[in-house]
Amino acid sequence: MSLAHLQPTYQPLSNYDNTNIAIVVANWHSEVTEKLYQGAKNVLEKYHVKTIQRFDVPGSFELSYAANHLASYGCFDAIICIGIVIQGETKHFDFICQAVSNGITKASQDNDVPILFGVLTPNNIEQAIERAGGKYGNKGEEAAYAALQMIDFQNQALHFYQSLDTDDLEIDE
């Protein structure tokens, strides 16, 4: 079975020497989240990100609060959230997953900072291990590539906006 489709195809565009990225890591199931963190950190180091700052939280539920808190200070160009929620026998899984995904999305939109969802939602620990450096790659690496791509998007959009002739714009007052 070829895994080529699992490899990120994005090639970063920017120079990241002045880039600051936070990685928020849930400690629950640290045997998995540590591997995801290492994958993300390795990608960011490969592209010479200036600051890679790790923050730890108890579990995935706390990721959105931490990301929102960090984003509100404006010190980071992107924030990567790493965690895991394993399907159980109750609806707890559904509630936590929904809260985490909605919270991370809201924090990103409210603060205009890319906040990346590096949270695994497998049915069991074996599936999680397969996605933390196993046969399905490392989702932490994928989250880091997504962070770089979103920083590149912001830079491209900024350059576009700066190139506009403001005399040609219609502004509703």
What is the H or E stretch that residue 120 is in? strand 115-120
Task: Mark whether 92 is an active-site residue.
Answer: yes
If DSSP codes are grouped into helix, strand and coil, which group holds residue 76? coil
End-to-end CA distance of the chain: 58
- CA 103 – CA 126 distance, rounded (Å): 27
Token pair for 70: 């960090």
CB 78 within 8 A of CB 46: no
Torsion of the alpha carbons at 134, 136, 140 and 144, rounded to the nearest 10: 130
Catalytic residue, chosen from 5, 48, 69, 92, is 92
Token pair for 2: 């070829």
What sections of 54-123 are H helices per DSSP?
A: 63-72, 92-111
Kindly list the catalytic residues: 92
